[in-house]
Structure 1
Amino acid sequence: MPDAGPVVGSRSPFGERLAAAVGQRGPLCVGVDPHPSLLASWGLTDDAEGLRRFSATVLTAVADVAAALKPQVALYERHGSAGIAVLEELLAAAREANLLTIADAKRGDIGSTMAAYAQAWLGEESPLAADAVTLSPYLGFESLRPALDLAAETGRGVFVLALTSNPEGASVQHVGGDASVARRIVDAAAAENRRYAGAERGHGSVGLVVGATVGDAVQRLGLDLAAVGGPLLAPGLGAQGATPAALRETFGAAYGQVLGTSSRDILAGGPDAGGVRARAERTLAGLAG
């Protein structure tokens, strides 16, 4: 079995770095989702400057509380090149603060286009490079190969959409019963992690996105999430209705791999950084309790 790290310079594989961050701070990922309505409620303008102030406040508030920060790329893209520049600034500032970042870009394509997406979000020279990126596998898991290989090469990670909580997701992800699409994605991620060191400890760098509000779907579809060997990004805590207790029930034996993710519920504590931090600490206490 090839050993994936250290990979670039002194950087350890993403899965190892995430496990260390969770061990130090706890299993919380804070989403940075600058929706227009949220900017307005913070008294900020819906432009690049408002975006910049919002992003900086969230980073200041949670830098030593969260294990990872997850900016929603689309909400930066809507501001064009000026918004992308703010995203680059946030990613750089998070690196300086020693806070892991997950670019929530949900990229997925084939061939040279997928390779270009991989270079953008995982490439060593890219100003958009995050510690990990979310990917969509619905052109086939193997279509993600350029990103999977580049992440392993650069010590970064990926989170592949597996089981989402939006109602439309079931029409694709649940199809196939015991051989569901979701199960094939879970099995493929587990196989990918087994190629590298760390998976036997649950520290693989190929993670999955599994919605915090999927209820009993994990059990009904027979998904062995504990065998994935990597982290499980679980968005939906708080405003979307999921609780830490529900996460424990949903993930069962795999709960120790869960990175609980909350955005709106925590961000509602703004515009004061202290209010955001207090909500983040409350959410973290629930996850760790």
Structure 2
Amino acid sequence: MAQHGGVRAGEGDGAAASDGFGTRLQRIIAERGGLCVGIDPHSYLLADWALPDDASGARELGLAVVEAAARGGAGIVKPQVAFFERFGSAGYAALEEVLAAARAAGLLVIADVKRGDLGTSVEAYGEAWLTPGAPLEADAMTISAFQGVGSLAGPIRLAAESGKGLFVLAATSNPEAAAIQTSVAPDSGRSVARAIIEDVTVQNQAIGHVAGPLGVVLGATLDLSVFGIDVSSAPTPELPVLAPGFGHQGARIEDAASIYGEYARMLVVSESRGILSAGPDGLADTIATRAAEVRTALA
């Protein structure tokens, strides 16, 4: 197992919050490509890596992924918080170390938390993950707008003020979601997925950056036209898109440009199990290969 002493909290590129999340994401994509390596310490992966199925195993896997991502040329990582949360407070302590190490290594960190609520509750979720200096600080978080994009006012304001980002669930790959996300509002004729994209775009326009700090999640295994999304033209400002579904879930990286069309301009290609299954010894090489494939596919 690789040693992790070379990555310490407080090191890294120190990108200023004033850059804005969208600007920093654009820079990462331009320099390293859009590969996002998931950090998902599943029980079976911990066993495959000869690690215990507990907080210490999750920590070891997480730190190894951070180190390999930095060596392999990836610029973005996405810890799936649920796989740390299952170990309670010890899991959160492990996650804090992984988050800090990733940001210290100059990686852009998306906390995959999928929180959603309203009022002061959703604002508190935003404070937990987006406040500079917070124990769980990340560069962006995934978030649900089931109560409407307007319900996310608190996290949106915090993201704009502190140079952070949000990825709002819009069209997700799980089949159970299709009935809701393809539903069309009789007053506007918009699908739920399209409405989320358009409402997020309005918020980005109000914030006023060239590249929005607010993005959406669009699954790579979907026919996005079924969800009312026309990928032949993309919103303005530039819209970050987090794209799960590559690798283990079946989507092919070489198809990314055709799947997302104009939405591919700020595409974050997320893959976890397909990469992590390489094991600790082959991880950096697998990341380097996949990062090169993403750069080629989206060139």
Tell whether the structures are fold-level matches, with TM greater than 0.5: yes
- Answering whether residue 43 of structure 2 is matched by residue 32 of structure 1, we say no
Q: Please list the CA deviations of residues 24-46 of structure 1 after superposition, one character each: whole Å capped at 9, or x if unmatched.
A: 11111110000001100111000
Match of 1:124 in 2: 132
Aligned positions of 1:186-265 closer than 5 A: 186-199=197-210, 203-214=211-222, 216-218=223-225, 221-223=228-230, 226-227=234-235, 229-265=238-274
Match of 1:77 in 2: 85
Point out 4+ residue stretches in structure 1 off by more than 2 angstroms.
8-11, 196-199, 216-220, 222-225
Q: How far apart in 2 are the matches of 1:223 and 1:170? A: 17
Match of 2:4 in 1: none
Q: How far apart in 2 are the matches of 1:233 and 1:39? A: 26
Q: Please list the CA deviations of residues 173-210 of structure 1 after superposition, one character each: whole Å capped at 9, or x if unmatched.
A: 000174110010010111111123433xxx21101111
The answer to whether the Cα contact below 8 Å between 2:194 and 2:227 also exists between their aligned partners in 1 is no
Q: How far apart in 1 are the matches of 2:286 and 2:226? A: 31
Q: How far apart in 2 are the matches of 1:248 and 1:217? A: 13
Distance 1:167 1:220, change over 3 A: closer
Match of 1:61 in 2: 68
Decide which moves more: 278-287 or 186-195: 278-287
Distance 1:73 1:56, change over 3 A: same
The answer to whether the Cα contact below 8 Å between 1:18 and 1:67 also exists between their aligned partners in 2 is no
Q: How far apart in 1 are the matches of 2:116 and 2:122? A: 6
Decide which moves more: 105-114 or 123-132: 123-132
Q: How far apart in 2 are the matches of 1:287 and 1:71? A: 20
The answer to whether the Cα contact below 8 Å between 1:190 and 1:227 also exists between their aligned partners in 2 is yes
Pick aligned residue for 1:174 from 174, 177, 182: 182
Q: How far apart in 1 are the matches of 2:161 and 2:120? A: 18
SS of structure 1 residue aligned to 2:207: coil
Q: Please list the CA deviations of residues 33-90 of structure 1 after superposition, one character each: whole Å capped at 9, or x if unmatched.
A: 0000110011100011111111111111012421211000010000000000111111
Decide which moves more: 83-92 or 59-68: 59-68
Residue identity in the other structure for 2:46? L
Match of 1:3 in 2: none
Decide which moves more: 158-167 or 228-237: 228-237
Match of 2:145 in 1: 137
Unmatched segments (≥5 aa) in structure 1? 1-7
1:217, CA displacement in angstroms? 2.4
Let me know the Cα RMSD of the aligned residues: 1.7
Q: How far apart in 2 are the matches of 1:101 and 1:110? A: 24
Using the size of structure 1 for normalisation, the TM-score is 0.91
Residue identity in the other structure for 1:141? V
Using the size of structure 2 for normalisation, the TM-score is 0.88
Match of 2:164 in 1: 156
Q: Sequence identity of aligned pairs in percent?
A: 45
Q: How far apart in 1 are the matches of 2:227 and 2:275? A: 31
